[in-house]
Copies of this chain bind each other. A is one copy, B any other.
Amino acid sequence: MELRILGCHSATPKPDEYPTSQALAVKNRWLIIDSGEGMQMQLRRYGVKFGRIKHIFISHLHGDHVYGLFGFLSTLRLLNRQTEMYLFGPPELKPLLDTVFKHTQVELTFPLHFRPVEGDGFRRISDEKDFEVYAFPLKHRIETHGFLVKEKPAPRKLNMDAIRLYPEIGIWAYHNLKAGKDFVTEDGRVIPNEELTLPPPRPRSYAYCSDTAYDPSIVPYIRGADVLYHEATFAEADRDLAALTLHSTARQAAEIAREAGVGKLIIGHFSSRYKDPQLLLREAQEVFPDTELAYEGKQVIF
């Protein structure tokens, strides 16, 4: 997987600090997660091909996570896109889009399949050939969901050095070998799959949690994720403010990462009150050392 942070700033943007949006590459697809204003320019800047995007996930309907969606979809129309697009988000996103497009005279050239994301619990919202996406509730001022993107296991790899020892194994048998099946010779002898194939790369997973108060109930949903993005709007000194606004401190994000045993934590969505996010990084690393700061354009390959 490859994660590209397109923007990670809290609501008031500065020059070159865009509100929240991310692109996640899974095999040959790009998934968009949240769509803050300016997302389409950022996609262009970082070379994310529009044609490889078929899925957009919106966590909640605060403007700094969704105001970039209108322009992006309008641009796809101008580019005469024909390929369908899947859009996941709060139920109200549909009437919002309909109204904006009605007043601004946008008629899409492609099918936009809207899939409302609502309610409690952990559930699969997308099931594709190479990956699946789960949604789970976060704790914010309005209905908000986090997302877990999981690669599906790839087929096993053929061990050609081993296969060559058995002339009776033709190309016709490769499909079943990749699927993990043993090879059975004409005289009934079983050659175990493990002898003929190598294990595929371990499937990767990515968890996204923004915006949310500290909420340990999400830990089981994101357990063992390779990378966790978790908002960290405030420093510990402003813990009360975090509780009041239903945001997290950097330390709280790190506590979630530690409890969930993730591989790496990326924190972002910093309040503009902190001139230097290093303070937030230090506070998180005290609890979870493998923490990194999100910044615009940051690329994480895992």
Contacts and interface: CB of A to CB of B under 8 A. Distances in A.
Interface of A: 11-19, 37-38, 40-42, 44-45, 61-64, 66-68, 70-71, 74-75, 78-79, 92-93, 95-96, 99-100, 103-106, 141-142
The list of the 6 closest CB pairs from A to B, nearest first, reads A15-B45, A96-B103, A37-B71, A99-B99, A63-B74, A38-B38
Contacts of A40: 13, 37
10 contacts: A15-B45, A37-B38, A61-B103, A63-B70, A63-B100, A66-B104, A67-B67, A95-B103, A96-B104, A105-B142
A70 B16 CA distance: 19
B71 A19 contact: yes
A222 to B, nearest CB: 26
Nearest to A70: B67
B74 A11 contact: yes
A61 B104 contact: yes
A44 B16 CA distance: 9
A157 to B, nearest CB: 38
A44 B105 contact: no
A152 B76 CA distance: 44
Contacts of A75: 11-13
B44 A13 contact: yes
A51 B46 CA distance: 33
A95 B103 CA distance: 9
B78 A71 contact: no
Contacts of A141: 105
B61 A41 contact: no
Contacts of A78: 11-12
A105 B71 contact: no
B67 A71 contact: yes
Given A71-B19, A100-B100, A104-B62, A13 B41 contact: yes
A13 B76 CA distance: 11
A13 B74 CA distance: 11
A243 to B, nearest CB: 19
A14 B105 contact: no
Nearest to A105: B142
A15 B13 CA distance: 17
A70 B110 CA distance: 25
Contacts of A68: 37
